[in-house]
Amino acid sequence: MMMESSRTAVWVGRPPKEDAAGPSDRIIDMAARLFAAQGFAATSIGQVAAACCVGSDTIHRRFPSKAALFAAVAERMRARTLDGLEAEIGSADGDALSRLKRVARWFLAVNLEPDMVALNRIALSEAILLGPEEDDPVTERLVALVAAAQWDGKLGGDDPRMIAAHLLHSIVSGPSNDAMRGRKTYASTESQDRFFDQAWALFLRGVGRSLPPGGR
């Protein structure tokens, strides 16, 4: 799902038959577009209802508040991120460190996608808590990859969870914050690659074990 930040689609007339079976999904999709285009404060339940051609009571029956609706948007994003991560892990080959590197590069790319940037921007600007739940599956997959690289003797350190958190911070935080400010510094694949190669090399200098120059 790529959110549209410059325009918002609306339903005209009766919703298509395929949407009748999943009204909650349609409401979440439309809310995501409106939140991305307007922000949290400027988006109302009434606007979402009008865009979906349903009454506000229909939305309130499923989502008791705007915060609950936004939480549903965030959960949808988390689920799709997990699906993408599982696919990336499944297609990765090579040794444990190579797989970790590929997945780390994927994390950078996914956090620079417009829909993710919009969601994170709203969460920060509106002070909405979207922190992952304990034992968040996305985090757990990354921790497992770090632990596998440690088991292979390619990474040092004691706590794979701390190393995974450090990796995410070093790879994602700077470019993500840059994108949330509306900058295009890392908009191209080439610029992302340049940043990632430098960040990965610095990460390995901190926790890598006896790797050749440049590391894998």
**Tens digit of each residue's pLDDT (9 = 90 or more) over 78-135:** 899 999 999 999 888 889 999 999 999 999 999 999 989 988 888 877 665 455 555 6
Structural domains in the chain plus CATH codes? 17-64 (1.10.10.60), 82-207 (1.10.357.10)
Predicted local distance difference test score (pLDDT) of residue 111: 94
Backbone angles phi, psi at 126, to 5 degrees: -100, 5
Backbone angles phi, psi at 208, to 5 degrees: -75, 155
Q: Quote the mean pLDDT of the chain.
A: 83
Quote the tokens at residue 114: 């417009």
* Segment 123-179, tens digit of pLDDT: 877 665 455 555 688 889 999 999 999 999 999 888 999 999 999 999 999 999 999
Would residue 60 be called left, alpha or beta, if left means φ above 0 and alpha means ψ between -120 and 50 degrees? alpha
Which amino acid is it at 40?
F
CA distance 154 to 211: 7
Q: Are 28 and 76 in contact (CB under 8 A)?
A: yes
* Segment 4-56, tens digit of pLDDT: 333 333 333 344 444 443 678 999 999 999 998 888 889 999 999 999 999 99
Predicted local distance difference test score (pLDDT) of residue 103: 95
Tokens 């994602």 belong to 172
CA distance 63 to 70: 9
pTM value is 0.77
